[in-house]
Amino acid sequence: MSTIFFTSDHHFGHKGIIKHAKRPFRSVEEMNETMILRRNEKVKKNDIVYHLGDIGLMASGKLLEILERLNGKIHLIKGNHDDLNRNCKD
């Protein structure tokens, strides 16, 4: 049986969110890897995940690499920062 999850505001790749939200990470890479690990501990392959915006602030190719590593069948709902993904060079 699948579980349904609702989440938002991961801000993968967003260096500024570490300071702004007082996240306990020394780098974006540490933050990204920790969030992937912790999420995959809870969410199983067949679970359903509704991500309610602001999934990441990074080049869309790199964001896709992260999304492919996340468990669950993901339904993305665009947030106010998600348009910026197209313009990021990193």
Mean pLDDT of 6-10: 96
Nearest-10 Cα torsion for 75, 18, 31, 15: 80
Mean pLDDT of 2-7: 97
What's CA 26's distance to the chain center, in Å? 17
What does the pLDDT look like over 27-78, one tens digit per residue?
A: 999 999 999 999 999 999 999 999 999 999 888 889 999 999 999 999 999 8
pLDDT for position 78: 83
Query: Global pTM?
Result: 0.86
- Domain containing 23 equals 4-87
pLDDT for position 89: 47
Q: Any residues with CB less than 8 A from the CB of 80 and at least 6 apart, and which?
A: 53, 54
CATH number at residue 52: 3.60.21.10
pLDDT for position 52: 94
Per-residue pLDDT band for 83 (boundaries 50, 70, 90) equals low
The CA-based angle 49-69-50, given to 5 degrees, is: 10
Q: Would you state the structure tokens that stand for residue 45, as one six-digit string?
A: 């392959």
How many domains, the chain? 1
